[in-house]
């Protein structure tokens, strides 16, 4: 099982929405999505987990690694709508990760508008099987 993702570039912020299950098999794909984000955006990266069904230890590690990679490039990673178990436990070497209740509150914290997914006024990329 893998994940699908959609990246939306706002003016000074990026939103990486993830759907599926972030497990060992999907961790590499998530890391690839982070590389995509680094190449095409600026500012904080909000990882929207609204459509994520769950994550494994390897998936959580991939998120911690993404936070470290983004920090190396002067960017921060924030999470929105973490899975219900709320079990993200980054190790001490992980930069601080802000967790927002949902995407709307994460965007509000950055004074950004909610994107309805149509991509009309923002650049957007997604995997072929992103749920419409």
pLDDT at 34: 97
Q: Digits of tens for pLDDT over the chain (132 positions)? A: 689 999 999 888 999 999 999 999 999 999 999 999 999 989 999 999 999 999 998 999 999 999 999 999 999 999 999 887 666 666 778 898 999 999 999 999 998 876 555 545 578 888 888 876
> For residue 87, what is the DSSP state?
-
- DSSP line for 3-15: EEEEEEE-SS-EE
* Length of the chain, in residues: 132
CB 80 within 8 A of CB 51: no
Domains of the chain with bracketed CATH: 3-125 (3.30.750.24)
pLDDT at 18: 97
- pTM flag (> 0.85): yes
- 121 burial level (CB within 10 Å; 0-12, 13-18, 19+): exposed
């Amino acid at each position: 099982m893998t994940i699908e993702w959609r990246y939306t570039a706002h003016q000074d912020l990026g939103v990486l929405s993830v759907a599926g299950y972030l497990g060992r098999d999907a961790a590499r794909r998530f890391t690839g999505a982070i590389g995509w984000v680094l190449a095409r955006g600026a500012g904080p990266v909000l990882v929207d987990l609204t459509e994520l069904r769950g994550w494994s230890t390897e998936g959580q590690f991939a998120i911690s690694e993404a936070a470290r990679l983004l920090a190396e490039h002067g960017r921060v990673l924030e999470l929105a709508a973490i899975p219900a178990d709320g079990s993200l436990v980054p190790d001490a070497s992980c930069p601080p990760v802000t967790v927002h209740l949902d995407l709307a509150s994460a965007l509000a914290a950055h004074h950004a508008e909610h994107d309805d997914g149509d991509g009309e006024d923002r650049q957007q990329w997604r995997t072929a099987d992103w749920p419409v």
